[in-house]
Copies of this chain bind each other. A is one copy, B any other.
């Protein structure tokens, strides 16, 4: 163990960030151009009205605005206090095991009530909705991580919460459902009889196991029908990503404590992009202000290679083509990812902001199959104690990869990664891994080509 044994870098509540950072304000300085969001039917640039049927005004303003720093309302900070600021750890034991000269730090977001970074945005989303007179929020969930976060947040502001949970997950993963219900949410297996979208699917295929695309359609339909019901999304959109910037702001203060203010590499995992953005965006702001820019690496599953194999083009956010069209890295909205265990990363698209950052060369992207990812996680948990969620495991794998490169180079680099959630609800995945029952899916390129061919061309 190194001489400096400090393992955790903590911040007092007094150091809880007071503002979120809005990357929109600095895209131009970073040489990044964003294509406008388009109305899904007219293909004309979308305006606030296109969003206000399902989101409250304050969130639409954040989605489209360019104000650099947005004040975090006090009632949101009061709820953040339940778990924020979160700790930054120095991975002394893992460094030793890897015999790397690199210093590895990780931010841990798994200590939140729901076990991931998701409440960083579910809480303000619930707050702004409550302020706007919304009485009920709807959303979809796959494995249940996002549904849990919204169930918790709505409870904090006395809103009702209606979660559409993909039927196969509802049946196979009852524990996340119980957690959501314990926070007072209503959880409905999707497709359901509650919506036209659900009834249509059931009429054709009564035994369907459901999909995230259908669940989104049901949640959105409920929001459109009732003026005091709104819809809430857990990733991809700008306002969601900006709420997550509390993560990176805290990391900067904590790295300063640790005497490692200028990290060399930042590593995060990407599904829709929210934990990654929240972690790295504040470093881009500093870069605009003259600080050196670390290498920034996004890690995704090779089975859902949005950034590494997808096209940067206009596409829909959902299978049912109800959302506006956004220019992003996509595998095609019809793409059905292989059944890997990182449910949170099984998304055909990617945040338009992150897509544009990659396109402009501001960030890098790489991918890993799931078996080496779980191998990294097992090594990590044996050294550091914390059991990573498989999604977060991609960042663990990425940090390990960087640490071994540093070892090869004999270079004392500072590597920081975001451990965005714990794996307490993912032990069946670890069980399959240990039993040698996991597959590393070699994704046929034709499948992506086919799926992309179905996307209407927009210039």
Contact = CB atoms under 8 A, between A and B. Distances in A.
Contacts of A12: 10
Contact of A175 (B93, B184, B427): B427
Contacts of A434: 178, 181-182
A26 interface: no
A29 to B, nearest CB: 36
Nearest to A425: B424
B425 A387 contact: no
Interface string A400-411: 000000000000
B385 A113 contact: yes
A249 to B, nearest CB: 18
Interface string A74-86: 0000100111000
Interface in A99-116: 111-115
A175 B431 CA distance: 8
A428 interface: yes
Contact of A424 (B10, B378, B424): B424
Contacts of A193: none
A175 B428 contact: yes
Nearest to A90: B81
Contacts of A175: 427-428, 431
Given A175-B428, A181-B434, A1 B78 contact: yes
A7 B183 contact: no
Contacts of A81: 5-8
A175 B83 CA distance: 26
A288 interface: no
Nearest to A112: B385
A158 to B, nearest CB: 10
B178 A431 contact: yes
Contacts of A113: 381, 384-387
A78 B387 contact: no
A183 B381 contact: yes
B430 A182 contact: yes
Nearest to A432: B178
B10 A182 contact: no
Contacts of A430: 178-179, 182
Contacts of A431: 174-175, 178
A449 interface: no
Contacts of A68: none
B427 A178 contact: yes
Contact of A427 (B82, B179, B381, B387): B179
A120 to B, nearest CB: 13
A81 B91 CA distance: 11
A93 B113 CA distance: 14
B182 A387 contact: yes
18 contacts: A5-B13, A5-B78, A6-B13, A7-B13, A7-B81, A10-B10, A82-B385, A155-B382, A175-B427, A175-B428, A178-B428, A178-B431, A179-B427, A181-B434, A182-B387, A182-B430, A424-B424, A424-B425
Top 8 A-B pairs, shortest CB-CB distance: A113-B385, A7-B81, A175-B427, A424-B424, A178-B431, A178-B427, A82-B385, A155-B382
Interface of A: 1, 5-8, 10, 12-13, 78, 81-83, 89, 93, 111-115, 152, 155-156, 174-175, 178-179, 181-184, 378, 381-382, 384-387, 424-425, 427-428, 430-431, 434
